[in-house]
């Protein structure tokens, strides 16, 4: 790669190494910067991939500084750069903190842009509608709308992340943001001031664009103007936190038919009909027909599972082909068809009706498609919740989509994360992503794990399938947390284990008279739980999947992580079942190549919560004797950082007492 004014291939690697050197750009810009050989090696490898337009998959352990390692060569190359990360919060951190720092340190006059999905931006047209037509669930929603209206007067980006204190789960957000389904495009009366279109225009004009994985795949799947226009123009694509890429891709490359979307469609139909064509059609009856069809679909999908306490993922064959289920799908198609016929008859009254007709046609089409067998290479299932249901059809992986993108135009592709597999080829990631021919690099962590971290696996312990296992986990976690005075996470592999473990811990601390607070996932928003944990070190936080990664608690606040059992994927998950069938058809061991590989990566993620800086110290406990006694346990132990192994609970308690003695008083 050598755009006009850009360094040559050898010069790019040299410039990258110089930037990380003791007298380099980063050191001059930050007195606290220190050259780390492992970071420089990673950055030089990325520079080579960028210079030669290659595909690089790089696993870099915690503390390497991979963000700077990819930003420096990407910015120095002189081409256009697209960086995608896992979540909107990481996207904001990258755009607002890391990217400006590196850009300024290198002295490059680069234009940067942040691009999110349309659901992150205020829709001026929907806000206007919300003022007049929305039915508010409570006073809190009314107050939230008032805050949004006030903020809307001064925002230049329309990014709702700018609004402090707005809960991501607020029922107001869907009412003041657009979806691809309800966006009116250039027919919108507020099109000239549209925040989504402004963000896309800025992205097209920028040298560096920061997106997230969900947006990347959603735009590819929907062929919207964002990524479809942007991708061909960039020279370097970087996927940070790439271990989440496959999950995001499968989610957005599939198709869904959900009752929540049907209810929203019915409400939009009613609102548009009453506002623009009152009296011309019986809008209440048409909207009511769609809502009734949604309820019938929910009932048919639930079957006997009416009283649900949590989400359930049903196999497709448990409902497909049954009269009630097929009848419900037919009812959805009929109700959508009736609505489409009505809006087409009054389409000239407002642009809203043209978009509504397209949405209704798509719903009818999907309902009819779900009544037919799934195409080859696709898997279907039913996500069943207490209030709604989603029919889902997705590919088994993202390999075809990524291969298509890699072949479409020559550019550098960099995929990086702290956890991408447990073998030299990083097969857990490269195989389902279709990156078998990529250059692979693995660099470890600069942290002194043998001195700073220990791991304990109790051999004489109830097995995970035994009834007494949750109680035993809570009892052990309680003893460990007591020695440390809190400062602990308990990570569970299932939501089902949260309540019994958290309750047993509370009872144990209360009986012993210990002032240790138990924080449980679900009792408050995730962000609030982390803030409470940091504010009150005498705490134990009990969390499931969403706390296994993306949580950064450096220092003495977190010094013990307890994992209840080995994180094997659920064998009855329809997507896992479909992948098992494919492995078996290929004559491979699904247990070794899928289940153990998944568990190794998840275990690395969970363990990664413990040591976040060079001075952190802590204890990892895995309450699953299989890790110490089964043959595959050796592979899982090898996947962890090189921590010191402890043989007994007494040794574990002694290590925690040592940590507690050196921790600052809380």
Do 517 and 604 fall into the same domain? yes
Residues 74, 77, 80, CA angle at the centre, nearest 5°? 70
Do 541 and 491 fall into the same domain? yes
pLDDT of residue 225: 46
Do 126 and 171 fall into the same domain? yes
Do 541 and 516 fall into the same domain? yes
Taking residue 46's Cβ as centre, other Cβ atoms within 10 Å add up to 30
Which residues, given as ranges, of the chain have pLDDT below 50?
4, 225
Q: What is the CATH number of the domain that holds 438?
A: 3.40.50.300
Give the distance, in angstroms, between the CA of residue 627 and the centroid of all CA atoms in the same chain: 28
* 171, 195, 219 - which closes a domain: 195
Do 97 and 227 fall into the same domain? yes
Do 89 and 157 fall into the same domain? no
Distances (CA, A) of 542 to 47, 489, 490, 497, 562: 41, 6, 5, 10, 9
Residue 535 falls inside a structural domain = yes
**DSSP state string for 288-329:** HHHHHHHHHHHHHHHTT--S-SS-EEEEGGGTTT-HHHHHHH
Domain of 550 in residue numbering reads as: 449-662
Residue 391 falls inside a structural domain = no
Residue 491, SS3?
strand
Do 331 and 219 fall into the same domain? no
pLDDT of residue 88: 85
Do 413 and 554 fall into the same domain? no
Dmax of the chain from CA atoms?
Answer: 79
Provide the token pair at 223: 């062929």
Residue 392 falls inside a structural domain = no
Distance from C-alpha of 528 to C-alpha of 543, rounded to nearest angstrom: 13
Do 462 and 585 fall into the same domain? yes
pLDDT of residue 431: 95
| pTM exceeding 0.85 | yes
Distance from C-alpha of 199 to C-alpha of 76, rounded to nearest angstrom: 24
pLDDT 10s digits, 573-609:
999 999 999 999 999 999 999 999 999 999 999 999 9
pLDDT of residue 4: 47
Q: What is the CATH number of the domain that holds 295?
A: 1.20.120
* Total domains, the chain: 4
HEC-encoded secondary structure of 434-447:
CCCCCEEEEECCCC
Do 203 and 347 fall into the same domain? no
The enclosing H or E element of 358 equals helix 351-370
Provide the token pair at 119: 């659901």
Do 59 and 13 fall into the same domain? yes
């Amino acid at each position: 790669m050598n755009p006009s004014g850009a360094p040559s291939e050898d010069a790019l690697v040299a410039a990258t190494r110089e930037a990380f050197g003791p007298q380099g750009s980063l050191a001059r810009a930050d007195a606290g910067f220190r050259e780390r050989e492992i970071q420089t090696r990673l950055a030089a490898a990325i520079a080579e991939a960028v210079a030669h337009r290659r595909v690089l998959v790089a696993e870099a352990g915690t503390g390497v500084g991979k963000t700077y390692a990819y930003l420096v060569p990407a910015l120095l190359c002189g081409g256009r750069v697209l960086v995608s990360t896992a979540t909107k919060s990481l996207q904001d951190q990258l755009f607002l903190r890391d990217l400006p720092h590196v850009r300024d340190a290198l002295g490059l006059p680069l234009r940067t842009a942040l691009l999110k999905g349309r659901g992150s931006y205020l829709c001026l047209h929907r806000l206007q509608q919300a003022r007049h037509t929305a039915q508010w669930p409570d006073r809190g929603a009314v107050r939230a709308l008032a805050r949004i209206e006030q903020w809307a007067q001064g925002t230049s980006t329309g990014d709702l992340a700018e609004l402090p204190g707005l809960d991501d789960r607020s029922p107001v957000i869907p009412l003041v943001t657009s979806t691809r389904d309800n966006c009116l495009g250039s027919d919108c009366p507020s099109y000239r001031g549209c925040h989504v279109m402004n963000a896309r225009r800025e992205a097209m004009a920028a040298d560096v664009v920061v997106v997230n994985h969900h947006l990347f795949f959603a735009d590819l799947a929907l062929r919207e103007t964002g990524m479809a226009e942007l991708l061909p123009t960039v020279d370097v694509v970087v996927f940070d936190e790439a271990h989440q890429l496959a999950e995001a891709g499968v989610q957005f490359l599939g198709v869904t038919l959900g009752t929540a979307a049907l209810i929203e469609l019915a409400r939009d139909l009613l609102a548009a009909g009453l506002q623009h064509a009152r009296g011309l059609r019986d809008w209440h009856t048409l909207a009511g027909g769609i809502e009734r069809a949604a309820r019938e679909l929910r009932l048919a999908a639930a079957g006997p599972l009416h009283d649900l306490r949590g989400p359930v993922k049903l196999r497709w064959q448990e409902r497909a082909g049954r009269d009630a289920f097929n009848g419900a799908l037919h009812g959805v198609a009929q109700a959508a068809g009736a609505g489409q016929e009505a809006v087409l008859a009054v389409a000239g009254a407002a642009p809203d009706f043209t978009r509504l007709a397209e949405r209704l046609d798509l719903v009818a089409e999907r309902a009819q498609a779900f009544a037919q067998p799934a195409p080859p290479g696709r898997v279907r299932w039913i996500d069943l919740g207490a209030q709604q249901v989603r029919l889902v059809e997705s590919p088994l992986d993202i390999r075809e989509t990524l291969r298509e993108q890699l072949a479409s135009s020559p550019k550098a592709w960099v995929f990086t994360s702290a956890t991408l597999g447990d073998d030299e080829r990083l097969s857990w990631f490269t195989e389902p992503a279709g990156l078998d021919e990529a250059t692979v690099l693995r660099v470890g962590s600069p942290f002194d794990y043998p001195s700073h971290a220990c791991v304990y696996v109790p051999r004489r312990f109830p097995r995970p399938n035994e009834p007494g296992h949750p109680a035993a986990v809570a009892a052990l976690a309680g003893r460990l947390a007591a020695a440390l005075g809190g400062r602990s996470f308990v990570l569970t592999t299932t939501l089902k284990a949260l309540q019994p473990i958290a309750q047993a811990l509370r009872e144990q601390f209360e009986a012993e008279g210990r002032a240790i607070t138990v924080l449980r996932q679900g009792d408050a928003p995730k962000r609030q739980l982390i803030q409470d944990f940091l504010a009150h070190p005498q705490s134990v936080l009990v969390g499931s999947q969403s706390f296994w990664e993306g949580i950064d608690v450096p220092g003495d606040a977190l010094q013990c992580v307890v994992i209840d059992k080995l994180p094997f994927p659920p064998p009855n998950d329809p997507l896992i079942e479909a992948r098992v069938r494919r492995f078996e058809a290929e004559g491979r061991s699904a247990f070794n190549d899928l289940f153990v590989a998944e568990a190794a990566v998840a275990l690395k993620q969970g363990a990664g919560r413990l040591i976040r800086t060079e001075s952190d110290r802590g204890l990892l406990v895995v309450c699953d004797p299989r890790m110490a006694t089964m043959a595959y346990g050796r592979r899982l132990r090898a996947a962890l950082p090189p921590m010191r192994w402890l043989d007994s609970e007494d040794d574990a308690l002694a290590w925690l007492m040592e940590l507690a003695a050196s921790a600052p008083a809380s």
